[in-house]
Structure 1
Amino acid sequence: MKLSEKIRHSERSRPFFTFEFFPPRTDQGFANLLARISRLASLDPLAINVTWGAGGSTKDRSLDLAGIAQSEYGIDTVLHLTCTNMVQGSVDAALRDAKERGIHNILALRGDPPRGEEYWIPTDPRFTHAIDLVKYIKSSPEFSDFCVGVAAYPDGHADRETDEDGEIKYLKAKVDAGADFIVTQLFYDVDGFLRWLSKVRETGIGVPIIPGIMPLQNYGSFLRLTKLCGTRVPVELQAALEPIRHDDQMIKDYGVSLATTMVKRLVSEGGIEGVHFCTLNLERSVQRVLEDLNWIGGSHDIHNRLIAETPGSIIHAPHPESDLIITPIDASNTAKTKLETKPVKEIEEPGRGEANNEATWDEFPNGRFGDFKSPAYGIQDPWNPGHYVSRNEGLSTWGHPKTIEEVTGLFLSHLHGKVTSTPFSQSPLLPESLTILRQLEKMTKRGWWTVGSQPAVDGADSSDDVFGWGPRGGYVYQKGFVEFFADKADVDMIEERVKRQGGGWVDFLAGNVDGECKTNMSDDGRNAVTWGVFPGREVAQSTIIERDSFLAWKDEVFTIWSQWALFYPPDSKERQLLESICRERWLVSVVHHDFKKDSALWSFLLSEE
């Protein structure tokens, strides 16, 4: 059914709500997201939204996910569809596929051009803006029966310098072209939204406006996504988060309270008919918000079960008699994540240690070092993986490298704090990485450009300013780990060295853009590289390296090389260099298991033998 008609004819005692999901990066994550959607369907959402990767990068998974939700779970689905950087004819193909799957609703978006926007030429000349897609659908005899929504940006568009009045004019033009409803970008400034809403209505826009609400999950993801979306952060919100920024559970609890308060104000002061929850493929926070709003009935049993069973995933421990609980969060330029865990009761199923209760997985954003079976595995930017800076910002920070030596210089500048980021590391080095700065310098000067690392740690106090995480009174451990780019000859050398000198102490993974992979790990091997022991708790494990997660990350980093190349004009030396690096370099991950020797990894890698 068309969403606009459902809104118009809805007879409810409370406002409606919709959920947004993105296609997971792994097959296991996809399968487990379907189970999650099935559970959330019992909360009676008006519809769910399924995102569409930039340039159609998630086309098949997006269509499959939306189609299954529509046909098997009976949930009306809104399929996001971006039109820029799409191969000519692919918009038609996507719309036909959507119709065949019984999908009646499209959220028409421009989408993000590649990072080199100045040099981007639309692949399909019919589409350069979202309004082009709206006009095309509404004027097409084949597709005009779709209900079409568009996006709005209460805090302004992150990629445009247009003022608020200009943005509202764009929005009005999209509605005049035939848009049936509006979904807004996430925001946290309710006063600003209400003022914006009043201005929008004054222009004569009368279609439903559905505000986007994203409950906070942890401090790192909050900072990253608000920067990505250009979201205004009220001073009082920043002040409230500052003292609890290292406590993920307190951030989540605050996020639930904040979202609940926001929604109540939007309904009571703005007359909003419903809200759109950006779930990040997580379920517990939105469940709690809806419970606190009293918008769902008969779900207390579900809620109490979710509260009783701690977020996490039971996996094989280093010692077979113990189980480890994982509640991973995001990581940037270091492998370690900071979190708190609670014990879960043992699940008696075949394959002890591998059983997973999907209802309680990944309740913290599951960064690339989390469980690859999680529906939220690898989340950085659910809308456009790899993209986090504008072209101008990237050129200002990363310059115009024309030689391998200049690329090496950029990575060295990042290590020395002269630049705040690289295309692969969004922030400066953390204090723990500074303890191995000399070794990282040696690797980089050798042409091994490092993108992730951590030193070995043997039982540091959990309150340690550099290495500590989790509850006080515990001890934390780390295996030495480093991830870097290297050429094929060096990969072959490392592989041979692992065979001759590794002695079972070293695991390595290496992959290239063509899908080749070298490793001494089994297909299902899992390597815990960060863990903690805390009073009265199960051993907590926060960082995992495994084949499937490495391969998913490998695909992303080579996409980043390609996107970075697009900063520069066609046929420029910069673009030719970066494209050749993407073709020729390998991503390499090396772990040394002897965490009692802080020099073990570096002696192995940097030996001249």
Structure 2
Amino acid sequence: MRVSEKLQKNLESSETSKPTFSFEFFVPKTTQGVQNLYDRMDRMYQTRPQFIDITWNAGGKLSQLSTDLVSTSQSVLGLETCMHLTCTNMPVQLIDDALARAYESGCQNILALRGDPPVTTGEWKQCEGGFAYAKDLVCYIRQKYGDHFDIGVAGYPEGHPEEEATPQLIQYLKEKVDAGANFIITQMFYDADIFIEWCRQVRQAGIDVPIIPGIMPITTYAAFMRRADWCKIKIPDEFMTKLDAVKDDDQAVREVGTGLIAGMCQKLLKSGYVTHLHMYTMNLEKASMMILDKLGLLTEEDDIFRDEVVPMPWRKSLHPQRRNESVRPIFWQKRPYSYVARTSQWSADEFPNGRFGDSSSPAFGDLDLLGSSLIRQSPQRALELWSAPTKLSDITNLVIDYLQGKTKCLPWCDVALNHEVDSIMPQLLDLNSHEILTLNSQPRVNGLPSGDKVIGWGPNNGYVFQKEYLEFLLPKSKLPQFMDLIGHDASLTYFSVDASDQLHSNHPDDTAANAVTWGIFPGREVLQPTIVEKVSFLAWKEEFFHILEEWKLILGEQGHRDSVTLLDTIINDYTLVNVVDNDFVTDGNRIHDHLKCLY
């Protein structure tokens, strides 16, 4: 959705609607930095920003990363994304390429900027075949794409490095808006009175698009002074007095700075010119979160936002070809990156049942999903997170730490655990303490309201259901006993497969999909967004054992031979199993009861 439409929707949603906010991120310089930024963006998604924006680095590898970040944040993370685009070192061909990639990813928002001078020269010059001014870029985007993109432009309440704050500078802003801009994001500032007076002048000049103030958190005293000097902005006396007193204590600076910025934001919001705050995060998390928390914007949202945020029990993609995606195999519940990458080339029109990509399609993606690595951590970071296990109990203890929130990811789990599994937590801990390594699970749910804060999803006034599901690793030596136990319980169905493709199952029709999550809503057909099916499970098996092989390689390169031996044992002597309890009505935990007999 376009930024201006989202802001208008929030204004119209309620007479007492809360102010909204967004985050800006810049392109990291390293591969691991990019990965860590995805994790940070994923966490900050939980605060429900209206959008994020990604800065532009003109030319070379970082330009490619800018468009990659936009595509991933739209398609995988489900974050409405605005892409910066500058004129610096950008001939029309490069601008066309960037706009095409943004369009294909579903991005509908561009922040059109002239851009800063190149660091190497310090002087801004129009490149051959490029544009001299942001208004020219705005005109070009409108000419090429009509109204597809919402276009934002920059505003300078205290002047531009090359132009003082004059009526002429506001006239330049009006020319950008007249050329087709839909909203304004301002440069950072610390003096609320200067900003409010500038807004008055902007409105007086006939500019009526939304004005979004750019908010720069205060993290350290040195960074605060450096940024203010670089942007040539006024620092109010109150800021200097309070920050000077604690300038040698970084923690105190951040706490005092949070109070000062929050007070500034409150004044802006009361001015009548502002309903939305844009946080310049500098790719940091804590400072922005502290400000928003102090403003009371991180409390539980009203139901008016819930439909937009939880349409499905998994993260919904904003890619145009995936917006109608309605079903996913449960095996990728905690691997959203690889699932979306794996299925990114599937064609939606081949599948009349409406779900994006049937896993039985010959187009089903191979394992080269996210570049060279399926473990989304550097070797050094992997060792820091998971150490070098030498016995199975070391790995099950890692899983126990994950279940208890002590670690946020595992080699096969990209995302942190949510509270959905709290009701079966004692059983999960018991299984792992007896070296049955659990990989994925969900509890039984029999008709909870769709508005439930933990389990709920989909439209209001509906009811959601789940079959209990468990996925785990089992020694091959115990598989016959397991199959015998399950065979005496008609409510349980399972698949088991090992690294050599030995498959066992008791499904009456193992070509059919077994819905393990569904919802009933007023005036709608039954939605079945999460399933178990054989072909998807076999594809997930390939990915899972590939992850173990990659982990083994990382540990081997660092000289951990005992760890390599352990992972070899798991790959060769264990089988991957999933079990569904199809009785979602009767109380009890039959899966756990049966598995206890294997101890």
State TM-score, norm by structure 2.
0.49
Higher RCO (C-alpha 8 Å, min separation 6) = 1
State TM-score, norm by structure 1.
0.48
Structure of greater Rg = 2
